[in-house]
Structure 1
Amino acid sequence: MTRRDMLKLATFAAALLTTTALFSSNHALAQDKKWKIGFSQVTTIEPWRAQFNKDIIAEAAKHPEVELIITDGEDKTEKQVADVENLIRQEVDALLVSPKESAGLTGVVQQAIDAKIPVFVLDRNVDTKDYTQFVGGDNKLIGRAAGEYAVELLGGKGKAAGNVVEIWGGMGTQPAHDRHDGFHEFTDKEPGIKYLLDQQSGDWKQDQAYNIMANALKTNEKIDLVYGHNDPMAYGAYLAAKDVGREKDIKFIGIDGLPNEGVQMVNKGELTATFTYVTPGAEGLRQAIKFLNGEKVEKTITLPTEKVTKDNAAKILKDNGL
């Protein structure tokens, strides 16, 4: 064997030893974990979902006894179902799931429940009550707050008047229906308020909302207020109006209120208001750990909301270091 061949063999052996050591180290690290918790996220593209993941990862870092496995459903029900099935096969100690669609995820959530895995449903519910706990905001309550403020912006109770464009989130998601129903509890009482669109879905996405608003602007000379079921869609509508020079004539209301997104938009005067919709990642993980440690948990945890306008946006940004 030549000296060059001996050097190659020694290099290969060293690399193999290093790889084995790394695997053993990672394996040992996993062995040290007390709980394996799986989290099925619907998508990581939307800003609110990205913050959701950041929050749950930050919380997991506080719990060295937890091994957190996060999957990305890529905004596809079938992919998310497969993700949950895979987490069940991995025999996670607890499952956290934020469904794309309530009906589409119910079956696989029930499979987890039947496998004796405690399930914590986050943000969007499923069509069963057999889960361990639901953690999320009250979307109907937030919708009511948005509707009440819309009435105020359009002239006040009993006098409100104007043309309203509502841009829905995903039609198959319960939050979209709740945000619609809550909003209309106030606005439907005002005969002067007219709705210009019939359940137009922007699927929670800015670009789709832009297209919906662009078409609405072409066919309606007067639009007084836009209610987007989240901030990206409200902002997409704002951009469409700005592109034709009509943004100053319209009030824009959104939901989510992330400091680096919706609150910034309000502070800049792009949105008139947003309503905070706190991500349930951190609280959901805390509740799962609490349950696994033998403590009792409530069936439902409702996270608070806050109205954000130009009056308090700057303070919220300052409080968040922005």
Structure 2
Amino acid sequence: MNRNRRLITGALLSAPFAGLMIKAGYVHAQGKKYRFGFSQVTTVEPWRVQFNKDMKAEAARHPNVDLVIADANDRTDKQNADMENFIAQKMDVIFISPKESAGLTGVVEKAFKAGIPVFVLDREVNGDQYTQFVGGDNVLIGKGVGEFIVKTQGGAGKAKGNIVEVWGGFGTQASHDRHDGMMSFVGKESGLKIVGQRVDCDWKQDKAYDYMKTVLRVNPQVDLVFAHNDPMAYGAYLAAKDAGVEKKIKFVGADGLPNEGAVWVEKGILTATFVYPTPGGEALRQALKMLGGEKIPKKVIMPTQGIFADNAKQFVAS
């Protein structure tokens, strides 16, 4: 089976305990009402909208869970304040999807050391002072992209072309992981060249549009664009379309949302994208397992899969 289309799963390990569980200074009894706080970096990006939707849907399945979501408005200082508020409220569990790793490490450690289970979602923090990380494997997604680029640009040892990489955020590990994974394949091909300067487009479609316009002025010959998420890939596509060169370029993204990336692949706007599943629902299930007395792993890696023209329809929302 083509590696890009293979479902890659992470193990979900659990071991039952009985009745009560003593963890970090708290005794949790089954059937208790719980207050969960979730610090979300932003609610504007489509992937984050789906993230919240999936988490709320899972919480709705558990009448004993009260889920409170705080929107950090894409600001590290606001997210730190939201976390401090959750600590002060003595939430039973805190979830956080950090804007950046270093800037949120301290407050995550503070919550954890205060005896509150902390689940880090999507983007990791530094160190290991948290209960569990739940998210996708961004290096693996990058490797899938890199393998796809080499294959579509001529194959190993023969691949040629100019590639534009549209970065998400320099302060987020996800961008660096996706870059590193991609370069583990592309970097071996002397015929493949990364053109354009490295610019932080902050995961935003409009910033990717502006960046791509600038790149095309300097480098009119572009063969493929890899953007760290689908909205930026779409922004790059729109810039190329305005320049009249979109049909000459392949566009590859990541996220694969049913109403976004998958649709764009089906319509031929993007050549490919890779599913980056939202971790909220799984994290909430993991938290309830822990509170119910089960041992949970330090990390849960969500599955990914490539979306291409021949399989996009099955990923599109009905």
Q: Structure 1 length as normaliser, TM-score?
A: 0.88
Deviation at 1:33, TM superposition (A): 6.4
Q: C-alpha separation between the residues in 2 aligned to 1:268 and 1:249? A: 16
Paired residue secondary structure (1:39): strand
Partner residue, 1:173: 172
1:315 CA displacement: 2.2
Equivalent position of 1:267 in the other structure = 266
Deviation sequence 1:260-285 (CA, Å, 0-9, x none) = 00000001110000000000010011
The secondary structure found in structure 2 opposite 1:201 is coil
Equivalent position of 2:218 in the other structure: 219
Q: Report if the CA contact (8 A) 1:144-1:183 is conserved.
A: yes
Counterpart of 1:162? 161
CA distance in 1, matches of 2:251, 2:229: 11
Distance between the aligned counterparts of 1:297 and 1:154, measured in 2? 43
Task: Give the partner amino acid of 1:285.
Answer: L
Cα shift at 1:93: 0.5
Runs ≥4 in structure 1, deviation > 4 angstroms? none
TM-score by length of 2: 0.89
Unaligned runs of 5+ in 2: 1-30
Segment drifting more, 302-311 vs 32-41:
32-41
State the match for 2:255 in structure 1. 256
* AA matched with 1:195: I
For 1:217-257, what per-residue CA distance to the aligned partner results, in whole angstroms no more than 9, with x for missing partners?
Answer: 11112000000000000000000000111000000000000
SS, match of residue 254 in structure 2: strand
CA distance in 1, matches of 2:170, 2:132: 24
Deviations 1:121-157 (A, max 9, x none): 0000001202111000000000000000011111111
Let me know the Cα RMSD of the aligned residues: 1.0
Distance in 1, Cα, partners of 2:315 & 2:126: 36
- Look up the SS of the partner of 1:143 in the other structure: helix
Aligned to 1:191: 190
Q: Partner amino acid for 2:291?
A: L
The equivalent residue for 1:228 is 227
Give the Å deviation of 1:316: 2.0
Aligned partner of 2:209 in structure 1 is 210
Measure, in 1, the Cα distance between the counterparts of 2:174 and 2:160.
26
Does the CA-based 8 Å contact 1:33-1:64 persist in structure 2?
no
C-alpha displacement at 1:198, in angstroms? 3.1
Unaligned stretches of 5+ in structure 1? Answer: 1-31
Post-superposition CA distance 1:63-83 (Å, at most 9, x none):
000111100000000000000
Counting aligned pairs with the same residue, the percent is 60
Q: Distance in 2 between matches of 1:226 and 1:202?
A: 14
1:197 deviates by: 2.0
Aligned length: 288
Amino acid at match of 1:257: G
Does 33-42 or 105-114 show the bigger shift? Answer: 33-42
1:25 match: none
| Distance (Å, rounded) in 1 between the aligned partners of 2:315 and 2:262 | 8
Which one-letter code corresponds to 2:189 in the other structure? E
Contact 1:33 1:67 in 2 (8 A): no
Q: Residue 109 of structure 1 aligns with which residue?
A: 108
- 3-state SS in 2 of match to 1:202: coil
SS in 2 for 1:51: helix
